[in-house]
Chains A and B, each alone.
Chain A
């Protein structure tokens, strides 16, 4: 095991780590006491800004900067939404934080709410996390009892209420404006931006949405200082004036064909190879790796030759992927067919597209149907070009959709087909020897499998 001492996961594995007593015995809530006594909301904003913290929910937007987009001297209310909808395939770090150290998350949220002037926090938790729900509800009750939540926190004039709001099994509720619509009691249809939530969010009021791990980082920054945070990770690339760097520890989720799948804390910037070999115990059954997802399935695909890719905010982009995403690495050995990978990915996005934008709704459904046909031995070379056309045209990056789900659907197609074209062509030729060059429209799909 590498020598990096975990901070965010320090309490994981400690008996009763989810109780206030244990959290406080390791220094928990001292930062909250100190901040409320000695600092102004603006000081906290500046502290977080100077730490270089970037959001851990997928987009990597600088947290302190996002907070400064709130209107100045707003009469209120300002809302804070905790994004605990974690549903990106491969990702489970938020679950571990909430199950094993909910107080660290809550301390971070209270500090973030104080910094942003929010008086109500909605803790948007996916329904499929029943243990998190229980632990978080208990932790919140402990906080109300201790005077960390409610009216006049610790005798100051700052008041905050925090409520858990449970989702109902829809990935799109993780998109911040989808989350807000869902919170308001509607279909989780992402909103067209601008206005951004900081200006007009939940209940048409200024709203901050942050991820669970982001808030845990805020707690540690307030406890240990911005300099500590900046001493970990990767500084900005001097050749790129727009790169804010990748500072701090990060929770990497490792799953798939490795010996020890799990959530590991490491400085931002370790490579895929490091993660597999130094943390994950190497490849399962000694098999050779074929490819890996760098940060949740939305981020695309790395080939085994690209495992020197550093897992910081800029790394995966240099290897043709969308970005670091949630830093959830899914490793696949040589037994995995690229067709199965693509089909599974298309199936997911087809199921989870909210259906508002035609390119996303139709693109995800057609790509799934085409992959289903290819899988069943009815593929044509032409399908690969059609799939690439879908991949290259759906998403906010090409500018055809409202939210980033479509970009997430596009990247597996773009990377999968461009990086593994030969294998796909071989598969199509082998399974459809008489029809692979066909260019006329294929007959309608009959249902080829049960689910």
Chain B
């Protein structure tokens, strides 16, 4: 396994800061493998994706085969691997309560406006549009979670404004 990373031409992607942040999780769990999700989040929150090289380096830290980390990673809807997502990642809920109050139309509208399909990033690279299953905010249907900000009872007009804002300033 270690041969993969000992290749001097490979550019490491985990910074010292990331490695320290990952190692800080070690004492919490009886196994190293349990640090997989925390480690993926550490990388994803900083790089906005988890490239294959990061998977190899995480595996090395956790004393796992890269395939084990990759296996776990691909199960979850959270981690992109080919390119970073936009500075704003907007999750548009499409589940039942939101659907009843116009979520499908809202998502269609947003995709149409931005020329994206769910999972894709706008041409200017600022915003990634995703569909979400229930965001647990059904009393505010239809809703959008943009980074850490929940937008409640969103109309298509409000969505236009948000899309405009995100072009210049990422959602908090």
Query: Residues on A close to B: CB < 8 A?
Result: 77, 86-92, 94-95, 126-131, 161, 163, 165-171, 182-188, 203, 253-257, 261-263, 293, 297, 328, 330, 332, 336, 340-341, 344-345, 347-348, 351-352, 354, 450-451
Q: Answer whether residue B157 sits at the interface, using C-beta atoms and an 8 A cutoff.
A: no
B residues near A128, Cβ cutoff 8 Å: 91, 132, 135-136, 145
B residues near A352, Cβ cutoff 8 Å: 133
Q: Which 8 pairs from chain A and chain B are nearest by CB?
A: A185-B36, A168-B76, A187-B75, A185-B33, A255-B138, A130-B148, A168-B78, A255-B97
Whether B107 pairs with A90 at a CB distance below 8 angstroms is: no
Whether A166 pairs with B41 at a CB distance below 8 angstroms is: yes
Bound-state CA distance A186–B40 (Å) is 12
Given contacts A169-B77, A185-B34, A351-B133, contact A451 B139 (CB under 8 A): no
B residues near A351, Cβ cutoff 8 Å: 133
Query: Residues on B close to A: CB < 8 A?
Result: 28-31, 33-38, 40-41, 62, 71-72, 75-79, 91, 94-97, 99-101, 107-108, 111, 117-118, 131-141, 145, 147-148, 150
Whether B138 pairs with A261 at a CB distance below 8 angstroms is: yes
Whether B78 pairs with A127 at a CB distance below 8 angstroms is: yes
Q: Which residue of B lies closest to A85 (CB)?
A: B136
* CB-contact partner of A185 in B31, B136, B139, under 8 A: B31
Bound-state CA distance A183–B132 (Å) is 22
Q: For B28, B37, B77, B107, which residue has the most chain A Cβ atoms within 10 angstroms?
A: B37
Q: Which residue of A lies closest to B36 (CB)?
A: A185
Closest-CB distance, B146 to chain A (whole angstroms): 11
Given contacts A128-B91, A255-B138, A352-B133, contact A169 B96 (CB under 8 A): no
Given contacts A168-B76, A344-B96, contact A450 B111 (CB under 8 A): yes
Whether A87 pairs with B77 at a CB distance below 8 angstroms is: no
Whether A255 pairs with B139 at a CB distance below 8 angstroms is: yes
Q: Which residue of B lies closest to A132 (CB)?
A: B136
Bound-state CA distance A185–B100 (Å) is 36
Bound-state CA distance A355–B31 (Å) is 26
* CB-contact partner of A169 in B71, B78, B107, B138, under 8 A: B78
Whether B136 pairs with A92 at a CB distance below 8 angstroms is: yes
Whether B34 pairs with A328 at a CB distance below 8 angstroms is: no
* Contacts A88-B134, A256-B101 supplied; 7 other A-B pairs, CB < 8 Å: A77-B30, A130-B145, A182-B37, A203-B30, A255-B97, A255-B139, A348-B95
* CB-contact partner of A170 in B75, B94, B148, under 8 A: B75
B residues near A166, Cβ cutoff 8 Å: 37-38, 41
Mind listing 27 A-B residue pairs with CB under 8 Å? Answer: A89-B133, A126-B136, A129-B136, A161-B28, A165-B38, A166-B38, A169-B77, A169-B132, A170-B76, A185-B33, A185-B34, A185-B62, A185-B72, A187-B75, A188-B75, A253-B139, A254-B139, A255-B97, A255-B138, A256-B96, A261-B141, A344-B96, A347-B94, A348-B133, A450-B108, A450-B118, A451-B107
Bound-state CA distance A168–B79 (Å) is 8
A residues near B28, Cβ cutoff 8 Å: 161, 163
A residues near B147, Cβ cutoff 8 Å: 130
B residues near A261, Cβ cutoff 8 Å: 97, 138-141
Q: Which residue of A lies closest to B140 (CB)?
A: A261
Closest-CB distance, A149 to chain B (whole angstroms): 13
Q: For B99, B107, B111, which residue has the most chain A Cβ atoms within 10 angstroms?
A: B99
* CB-contact partner of A87 in B31, B108, B118, B133, under 8 A: B133
Whether B138 pairs with A184 at a CB distance below 8 angstroms is: no
B residues near A87, Cβ cutoff 8 Å: 133-134, 136
Whether A344 pairs with B95 at a CB distance below 8 angstroms is: yes
B residues near A188, Cβ cutoff 8 Å: 75
